[in-house]
Amino acid sequence: MNPSAHERDEAWPELPFASWKDTAETLHMWTQIIGKIRLKLSPWINHSWHVTLYLTARGLTTSPIPHGWQTFELRFDFIDHHLRILKSDGRQHLVKLRAQSVADFYREVMAGLEDLQLPVKIDLMPNEIANPIRFDLDELHRSYDPEAAHRFWRILLQSDRVFKKFRARFCGKCSPVHFFWGSFDLAVTRFSGRPAPSHPGGVPHLPLAVAREAYAQEVSSLGFWPGNADLPTPLYYSYAYPEPAGFAQAAASPNESNYSPQLHEFTLAYDAVRTARSPDDLLLEFAQSTYDAASRLGKWDRAALDESKLNPPSREDAA
């Protein structure tokens, strides 16, 4: 059954960046604090996959984090608007999501962890943004619009669902669909299986060693980004590292997509997807065509990586 226009608009809501700029910037810092807690306590996984957040039916989660013999999890809930700290001994702590400064949010989260006997110290400087302010000193970012945060989560939820369809087509090494709190975007990344040239760095407030490890292998990456003050357009993106010759001139589709010399990636405006008759089909078309360009021009071993090699069992056999 095809969804109605109303159902489509509910699932894929409007969210122009200007309408929630202050909330987006505050929430970005809150997710960085939570992500850095996972970073501090988790064993390193290649390409920084140990630091990301994941979509849930109510928001975003760290997934379980080890703390000695205990385990805990931090979950953003964008329906009831709180952060829940859950510990494996059954105890929990709630932090209400409301208009408050980053500094106050940081102190409240740390107090909650101390109360649960889960002490942790994190690096207090934000990553991947210009002009960062230490979390414990940031009184500038203090906005929270519950409706905007809820809409943002709904967009992530739909994007996550479609990205997982796209991920399922690939037989090679591939990341989970995960949310990077540094760049504040949802992404899934395919790998050719070959090493890549050393990354030049240049990402604001991101250590060069981290950037080089993240891009140590050839990739084609798909993502959703809600925009920022300098580029206030929510969009889907697709890039290749290293970028093969001719990638910028590739014939990507749909027609609404284009290559950005500024970003060195193909982009597709979120509004083009959400207003499409079939958002899933349009987004998958963008994802597939840009991957086709990256892998073809980069001379990936497509025959070995194609979904036809997966040969999954039938649903009946799997059950």
Please list the pLDDT of the chain residue by residue as tens digits (319 residues): 567 788 888 899 999 999 999 999 999 999 999 999 999 999 999 999 999 999 999 999 999 999 999 999 999 999 999 999 999 999 999 999 999 999 999 999 999 999 999 999 999 999 999 999 999 999 999 999 999 999 999 999 999 999 999 999 999 999 999 999 999 999 999 999 999 999 999 999 999 999 999 999 999 999 999 999 999 999 999 999 999 999 999 999 999 999 999 999 999 999 999 999 999 999 999 999 999 999 999 999 998 998 766 677 776 766 6
Q: Residue 306's pLDDT is what?
A: 82
For 75, residues 6+ apart whose C-beta sits below 8 A from its C-beta are: 56, 58, 59, 60, 61, 62, 83, 84, 86
Do residues 311 and 304 lie in contact, with contact meaning Cβ atoms separated by under 8 Å? no
Residue type, 128: E
- The length of the chain, given as a count of residues: 319
Q: What distance lies between CA 292 and its chain's CA centroid?
A: 22
pTM across the whole model:
0.95
Q: Closest by alpha carbon to 253, among 291, 226, 307?
A: 291
The token pair at 124 is 């207090």
